[in-house]
Chains A and B, each alone.
Chain A
Amino acid sequence: MASFIAIIISAVFINNFVVVQFLGICPFLGVSKDFKSALGMGLAVTFVMTLTCLITYPIYVYVLVPLNIEFMEIIVFIFIIASIVQMIEMALKKFSPTLYNAMGIYLPLITTNCAVLGVAELVIDEAQMISILGIKSMNMGVAVLYGLFAGLGFTLAIVLMSGLREKLARQPISKHLKGFPIAMITACFIAMAFYVFALI
């Protein structure tokens, strides 16, 4: 139980994917202009990240390592992610058109989201996972849980950002700071807030 809570705290706050590890910055800056689309993007990414961990971790451990072809991991992972995204898109289109309309436009963007490939690469790095989560050994369950909560951490950051940007949109801002620069200064303050968790 204690390690379960440790995983949550570490994945969501201390090692937040966006503001601490700098993964998934593109959607964080690009799709955070309003609350609704930020939440949609966050949940879509969380779903894909969890599913990716569920599939890539066993493939790495039970297929690539026994065959001694670990160097193929990048090609295999990106192929799996692209296929997952494509399949989700087709399934959503067929079974739930409403959800497809809400999430559909974000799905193609997720293939090239570094957070998804990042989490797949991170969970197979056993030494690093043990050091950041404080657990004894890696297994499938931890990998999937980490994927899920890292995705929720991404959702938290992007939702916070969208709230701040909605407020900022109505403020008078210098022409040169408009757009990306002011978004990054906002992200700077969010990063400072998350930095406090690392001190605990």
Chain B
Amino acid sequence: MNNEYKKIAVDGLITSNPTFKLVLGTCPTLALTTMAMNGIGMGLAVTFVLICSNLIISLLRNAIPNQVRIPAFVLIIATFVTIVRLVLDKLLPSLYESLGLYLPLIVVNCIILARAESFASKNTPLKSVCDGLFTGLGFTIALTLMGAVREILGSGSIFGLKLWNFSIAFFASSAGAFFTFAIFIALFSIISEQVEKKRKIAKYNLFDAQKKTEVI
């Protein structure tokens, strides 16, 4: 049982990371990562919507007829996005300003609909909430990492704090967004392949050692 939750966590954060592995929700990833703070804001907004929509969809999974499930999911998601939007507008108007158009567009973020369709509509509420939390955190971490790199290189600061006066305007531009994202996906693929190789070798060695002891 515990193992199952561990698998959900590792899946959401690393092995099927929504941004670097599945490449979902690319629009906000490219548009909002000029600053690390925007990445955190967007990531947490998506995480909140993901947890709530996963919970409700999972609770209603036996009540929603199969033919109308997509419109029903979208309506549930749109309701939570409206809530996030109203709350952010009142509590954090500066973040609301900088997320701008991309805040209502959380509705059509493929990560949320994908998790609703492939996970929440088939699993228990507790598992679905867990999945929403970790997938959302995976997205948040990815956005924050990309935002940090682009902010350091593009404007020489991090989380709004000035580091030095050196900056490469390319990384703050829209072309830089595509370039940084491409490099991140490629690096993620290289690292996960290396880790996989190491794990295989370790497994083989273990197997080998076991065999030797058996022989002895």
Contact A181 B186 (CB under 8 A): yes
Most buried by A among B79, B82, B175, B179: B175
Minimum Cβ distance to chain A for residue B5 (Å): 29
Per-residue CB proximity of A113-154 to B under 8 Å, as 1/0? 110111001100100000000000000000000000000000
Q: How far is it, in angstroms, between the C-alpha of A19 and the C-alpha of B181 when the chains are bound?
A: 14
A-B contact count (CB 8 A): 114
In the complex, A29→B23 CA distance in Å?
10
Considering the chains assembled together, what is the distance between the CA atoms of A72 and B26 in angstroms? Answer: 25
Bound: A114/B27 CA distance, A: 8
Q: Which residues of chain B have C-beta atoms less than 8 A from A113's C-beta? A: 108
State whether B182 touches A180 (Cβ < 8 A): yes
Helix, strand, loop or mixed for chain A's interface? Answer: helix
Q: Are A117 and B181 in contact (CB under 8 A)?
A: no
Surface stretch bound by A, among B6-14, B53-61, B70-78, B156-164: B70-78
Contact A184 B178 (CB under 8 A): yes
Query: What chain A residues lie within 8 Å of B108 (beta carbons)?
Result: 78, 111-114, 116-117
Q: Does A192 interact with chain B (Cβ within 8 Å)? A: yes
CA A89 to CA B42, docked complex, whole Å: 33
Confirm or deny: B101 has a beta carbon within 8 angstroms of a beta carbon on chain A: yes
Chain A stretch 45-103: residues in CB contact (< 8 A) with chain B: 71-75, 78-79, 82
B130 in contact (CB, < 8 A): no
Residues of B within 8 A of A184 (CB): 178-179, 181-182, 185
A185 touches which of B27, B75, B79, B182 (Cβ 8 Å): B182
Task: Give min CB distance, A86 to chain B, whole Å.
Answer: 9
- 10 smallest beta-carbon distances between A and B, as pairs: A184-B182, A188-B178, A22-B31, A191-B175, A25-B26, A181-B182, A22-B30, A181-B186, A188-B179, A192-B175
4 additional contacts (CB under 8 A) given A25-B26, A74-B85, A181-B189: A26-B27, A71-B85, A189-B175, A194-B174
Chain B residues at the A interface, C-beta cutoff of 8 Å: 23-24, 26-28, 30-31, 70-71, 74-75, 78-79, 81-82, 85-86, 101, 104-105, 107-110, 113, 173-179, 181-183, 185-186, 189-190, 193
Interface residues of A (CB under 8 A from B): 19-26, 29, 71-75, 78-79, 82, 111-114, 116-118, 121-122, 125, 176-177, 180-185, 187-189, 191-192, 194-195
